[in-house]
Amino acid sequence: MKVILARLSAPVRVSLAALILLTAVSFLFPLAPHGYQLAAFLLLFMWPAITWLACVDGPWLDRLVIAAALPPLVNALLALLTYYASGPMLSTVQLLLHTAVALLPLAKRSCIAWPSVRVINWRDRTVQTLAAIFILALALRLTNLPYSEFQGDEGVIMTRAAAMITGDDAEIFLHQKGPVEILIPLTMWVLGGQINEFWARLPFAWGSLLVVLALFVLARRWFGAPTALLAALFFALNGFGVAFGRIVQYQSFVMLWGTLAVLGAARYAAAGKRHDLVGTAVFLAGGLLAHYDAILVTPAVGWLLFNRVWQERRVAWRAWLLAGGTGALILALFYVPFVRNPNFARTGQYLVQGRLGASDETGLLSWSGAQVWQMITFYNSLYYVVGLALLAFVGLLALIKRGRARRGGVIAMAAVLLFFTPLAFYLFIVADPRTHVYTFFPGWTLLAAVGAWTLGQRWVTGRGRLAGWGVFALWVGVTAVYPWLLFVDYTPERQRTWAENRPRFYPTTWDDPPLYGIFGFPHQAGWRLAAELVTELPYASNEEQEVTAWYMAQAARTHCPDLATFVYAARVQDVVLYDPDLLATLAEQARVTVAGQPGLVIYGRSPTDAVPLRDAAGRALWRAPADVAPPTFGGHYPVQVTLGNEQVRLLGYDLDTADAVPGGRVVVTLYWQALAPFDQNYQVFTHLYDGELRAQHDGAPDCAIMPTTRWEPGRIIRDPHVISLPPDMPQGAVPLLVGMYNLLTYERLSRADTGADAIHITNVTVR
């Protein structure tokens, strides 16, 4: 042990000591939530990057970016493997696993010597300029990061993470995307115990910052340092890069690992080293675990690798088998069990029909130019998009000229493929592209950087050069202000008040922003206070359940008239329809403001003498996994009857017969659990039937808000039904029958045990 420690470089010794100290502190001493989360972030993302740095070769910045990009991927894979072990995920197990992973480089003798920081020439203007660009990117991604409440997709991700942590063994396969966006905050949550919006988002901000450096490294390899600085600057200012660095979603890691897959292929094409080929496979597989969008970098990767094989006139089979096997193994960890899951077919249908828009009538091709244009000119200023397009055109001409040389032609084609493959895909294939257009911006910024440096070096001379760079500096300044106004500044929240607060001096070719699929804009409605103020349940709201589930700690919510409380959000993220006349019958219970602006109004059944006013500005809300894991309550009266071919189970019910008199009503709340995905919508019937139908209520579950085609296997659906009793209802006990029937054919689902087409759950006594 002494020999090993003596051979370690000083940075590795410091890192090792800090890692051991961090682990000991986490085990032995109680910390505040911020302390635990800081320790988790250091353990998961910082220390492994430091210890693994010695195992990567090449220029120091290449090594830094690759070493820093590996821990999120390894963390996700470790979380996936421990999740498969079933049962609740334990923080001690995760702590030991990730500590061991951070120490892995010590097991390899060649990785012990850490590079000296003296290899970095801090007086170099390139280093200084890159540091300034990185600080700019940092400011755009971290400033006011805790302000926004979770949006709908973030709420879904965190709810799924909570379910996985608490032991739901099917949750990961219900997600219609790759698992990375769940697994990364999950690891932070398991180790930290509690989490809030800032700490859940921080890894994604870190990933977005690394994209800036990854593009610099790739562009420097291909085009030189000045062009690389421009590419880093253009992406630092990119609206998609800023927005997706401020939310819990996959995009930052798709861009990061996709760019590094291209970098690995470029390194392999240049030197033919086996570990670069393996690195390409690892990062490409990681990108595909984050989202299917990562497949769009494969033409550029394939082109570079093909040219290496063509140049050598042979295939290094050992290297290719090792790389292919490694990448395939990483993908198989998730996609093999996912393909075998019943939800896979549903995901494929969603992608092909919902996003690609493919059908027998329309075919595969479509035109989405208008949607693409509106989306990119909403997330970025028109000045930025037009300027980037003009510079990219100049860059394309320069690359065509450069392509006459063989090596230059290979690089030029790779850069062009990196841009035009996702551009063509979302223009001509995808009918509903939404924010997935972010995929062509890494390639676009590379081409624009080539164009900008070409203009600066060759086409502008003397005084013209000074004027040209002055115009360029003005364009950069104007471009930088726009993402600050839209994503960082929240006074006001412009996206939700676009008509009156759209940024001045930034023209658009459209009047209203996109309605759907927009993420990363600042918003706070006051939900961090809602759970404290809502005392009567169930509650209803005009805010989507994906948001409220987190902030209300999965309190019972209804979309039916049986509500006890209604929480009205002044500016919602995604509106849920409600009856405005209902609010007129309720009394205000409390009001929540955000920095003095209207936020929430809480209504209840009972009038109050005074309506308290609370302000949610600056408030933090911490949640443990058990707080937001999906409810497991199946009613006070268990039933446990399965309908169909293991399609759905009625777990139990609640019954309110306080008003069970002629002319009154009976309220029955059913608790369903889907066992497999529904491909058609089913109605629920509740009948009071004694040989004659005395009263009934039929309808889609949860007052038509939760049709069965939206049900996820394993999830419990609360389904209230109000059965109105006729005035001539006879007194006495009447059987209550419930069940489901196909909305189109009226065919009922049969009981799996008896074959009956209804479930007799109890008798209702009409007084």
Q: At residue 62, does pLDDT exceed 60?
A: yes
For residue 541, give the nearest of 637, 622, 549 by alpha carbon.
549
Q: At residue 489, does pLDDT exceed 70?
A: yes
Architecture per CATH, domain 637-766, reads as Sandwich (2.60)
Strand partners, 598: 593
Mean pLDDT of 124-132: 92
Q: How far is C-alpha 9 from the geometric centre of its chain's CA atoms?
A: 38
Residue found by looking up tokens 């600050």 in the block = 484
Beta strands in 454-569 (DSSP E): 539-541, 565-569
**Listed range (13-22, 646-655, 694-703) with the worst mean pLDDT:** 13-22
Q: What is the pLDDT confidence band of residue 714, given thresholds at 50, 70 and 90? A: confident
What are the sequence ranges of the domains in the chain?
A: 1-120+169-187, 527-628, 637-766
Q: Quote the pTM value.
A: 0.92
Cα 720 to Cα 702: distance, rounded to the nearest angstrom: 6
Cα 603 to Cα 586: distance, rounded to the nearest angstrom: 6
Beta pairing class for 587-594 and 565-569 = unpaired
470's CB contacts (< 8 A; 6+ apart) are none
Q: What is the pLDDT confidence band of residue 409, given thresholds at 50, 70 and 90? A: confident
**For the segment 522-539, what is each residue's pLDDT rounded down to a tens digit?**
999 999 999 999 999 999
Decide: helix, strand or coil at residue 124. coil
Q: What is the pLDDT confidence band of residue 401, given thresholds at 50, 70 and 90? A: confident
On whether the CB atoms of residues 153 and 434 are closer than 8 A, the answer is no
Beta strands in 544-692 (DSSP E): 565-569, 587-594, 597-604, 613-615, 637-643, 648-656, 665-674, 682-689
- What is the pLDDT, as a whole number, of residue 359? 46
Report the 10 Å Cβ neighbour count for 100. Answer: 11
Q: What is the pLDDT confidence band of residue 14, given thresholds at 50, 70 and 90? A: low
Cα 114 to Cα 101: distance, rounded to the nearest angstrom: 17
Structure-token pair, residue 234: 């253009």
21's CB contacts (< 8 A; 6+ apart) are none
Q: Which one-letter DSSP state was computed for residue 117?
A: G
On whether the CB atoms of residues 737 and 690 are closer than 8 A, the answer is no
On whether the CB atoms of residues 254 and 291 are closer than 8 A, the answer is yes
Which amino acid is residue 658, in one-letter code? A
Cα 398 to Cα 677: distance, rounded to the nearest angstrom: 53
The residue that leads in pLDDT, 107 or 295, is 295
**For the segment 565-593, what is each residue's pLDDT rounded down to a tens digit?**
999 999 887 788 888 888 889 999 999 99
Q: What is the pLDDT confidence band of residue 1, given thresholds at 50, 70 and 90? A: very low
Residue found by looking up tokens 């008040």 in the block = 497
Q: At residue 12, does pLDDT exceed 70?
A: no
* Dihedral angle computed from the Cα positions of residues 126, 130, 133 and 135, in that order, rounded to the nearest 10 degrees: -130
> What is the Cα gyration radius of the chain?
29
- What is the pLDDT, as a whole number, of residue 3? 42
Residue found by looking up tokens 């329809």 in the block = 577
Cα 194 to Cα 205: distance, rounded to the nearest angstrom: 19
Q: At residue 24, does pLDDT exceed 80?
A: no
First to last CA, the chain: 83
Q: What is the pLDDT confidence band of residue 351, given thresholds at 50, 70 and 90? A: low
On whether the CB atoms of residues 716 and 549 are closer than 8 A, the answer is no
Q: What is the pLDDT confidence band of residue 114, given thresholds at 50, 70 and 90? A: low
The residue that leads in pLDDT, 147 or 42, is 147
Q: H-type helices in 341-405, by residue range?
A: 343-349, 369-379, 382-402
pLDDT, mean over the chain: 88
- What is the pLDDT, as a whole number, of residue 360? 47
What is the percent of the chain where pLDDT is above 70? 90
Cα 510 to Cα 374: distance, rounded to the nearest angstrom: 7
The residue that leads in pLDDT, 113 or 291, is 291
**For the segment 247-287, what is each residue's pLDDT rounded down to a tens digit?**
999 999 999 999 999 999 999 999 989 999 999 999 999 99
Cα 126 to Cα 122: distance, rounded to the nearest angstrom: 9
Residue found by looking up tokens 């948001």 in the block = 547
**For the segment 598-648, what is each residue's pLDDT rounded down to a tens digit?**
999 999 998 888 899 999 998 999 999 999 998 888 899 999 999 988 889
Q: How many CA atoms lie within 13 A of 93 on its CB side?
A: 13
- What is the pLDDT, as a whole number, of residue 463? 65
Burial of 436 (0-12, 13-18, 19+ CB in 10 A): buried
Cα 391 to Cα 459: distance, rounded to the nearest angstrom: 13
On whether the CB atoms of residues 552 and 530 are closer than 8 A, the answer is yes
What is the percent of the chain where pLDDT is above 90? 61
